[in-house]
Amino acid sequence: MSARRLRPDAWALMAPALLVLAAVTALPTGYVVWLSLNERALFRAEDFVGLGHYLRLAGDARFWNALGNTLYFAAVSVALELALGLAIALLLARAGRARAFAYGAVLVPWAVPTVVSARIWEWIYNPELGVLGYLAGTPVNWLGDPVLALHAAIAMDVWKSTPFVALLLLAGLQGVPRDLLRAAAVDGAGAWTTFRRITLPMLAPVILVAAVFRTIDALRVFDAVYVLTGGGPANATETLSIYAYRVLFQMLDFGYGSALAVAMLAIAGIAALAYARLLRGGME
C-alpha cells in the first residue's frame, strides 16, 4: 500500500491526540493572546486596546530588567549544565562496577522536588547558619545582595538540573560506535583527540536536544527563584515569569499580564526555532 493511501489513516489515528492538544494548548494560548489585546482587570469592563500592551512593554523598565535577568539566568545556567553534564556523563560511562551506585547518586538532586531544593539551598545560603558561611569563615548575605542573589539562584538550578543533562548525554554516549573508538586507538589517537574528533561531533545532536529542553525550561523559570528569593532583593532576581505572575495575580491586570505571558512564549519559541535550525544544519 502506497504512502498516499496510508496518509488519511494516519491522520485519523492522530486526530484524537491532536484534538486533545488543541483543547489543552491551542485554545488557552489563543485566549491569552486575545486577553493581551484587551484592557481587562477585575471588576472592570473589557476594552479592546490592540497592540497597546505591547507598546507599553517597550517602555516598561521593569519588563526589560526581568527580561535581562531571565536571559542571563538561562544563558549561564544552561552553559554550566551542559559543561558539567558532559563531564559527569563521561565519568559515568567509565564507572565500571560502581555504575549503579553512581547513577543513583547523580540523580538524587534531580529527584528532589524543586520547592524542596529551593528550601534546602535557602538554608545553605543562610548567612548565620548556612554551610557556605561556615566554610567562608564569615557571614555572607548571599540572597540579600543584588549581584550575589541571581548567581545563587543559578547555582541552585545548576545543581538541580545538571543530572537531567548528564542522563541525556550518557544515552548519547552509548550510541557512539565502539569500532570508531577502537580504530582511533589503533591509529594512535590520544584520549583528547578521540574525544574532539569522534565523540564530540557524534554527540552534538544530543547536546543540542539537551540545550533545547534546558533553555526553554530556564526561560520560564518560576518556582525555584520565587521560593529562594521571591524575585528580590529590589527585583534583582525577578524573571519574566515572576513579573507576569505578580501582574496577573497580585495586581489583577489580566490584559498586561497576558501580554507578558505572550512575550515569554515568543522568546521561548524563538529559542526553540534557533536550536531547531542548528540541529537541522548539523544533521545535514
Asked if residues 59 and 229 have their Cβ atoms less than 8 Å apart, the reply is no
Asked if residues 228 and 130 have their Cβ atoms less than 8 Å apart, the reply is no
Looking at the predicted structure, is the pLDDT value of residue 105 above 50?
yes
Please state the separation of Cα 127 from the chain's center in Å. Answer: 28
Extended strands (E) in the chain: 38-41, 44-48
The pLDDT-based confidence of 282 (bands split at 50, 70, 90) is: low
Asked if residues 165 and 85 have their Cβ atoms less than 8 Å apart, the reply is yes
Residue 277 covered by a domain:
yes
pLDDT at res. 118: 92
Gyration radius of the chain's alpha carbons = 23
215: containing domain:
52-283
Total count of domains within the chain = 1
Please, how many CA atoms are within 13 Å of residue 120, restricted to the half-sphere of its CB?
12
Handedness of CA 62, 153, 114, 216 (dihedral sign): positive
pLDDT tens-place string over residues 208-256: 999 999 999 999 999 899 999 988 888 899 999 999 999 988 888 899 9
For residues 59-87, one letter each, b for 16 or more C-beta atoms within 10 angstroms of the residue's C-beta and e for the rest, the string is ebeebebbbebbbebbebbbebbbebbbe
pLDDT tens-place string over residues 29-77: 888 999 889 887 766 667 888 889 999 999 999 999 999 999 999 999 9
Residue 78 covered by a domain:
yes
**Residue 151: CATH number of its domain:** 1.10.3720.10
Residue 17 covered by a domain:
no
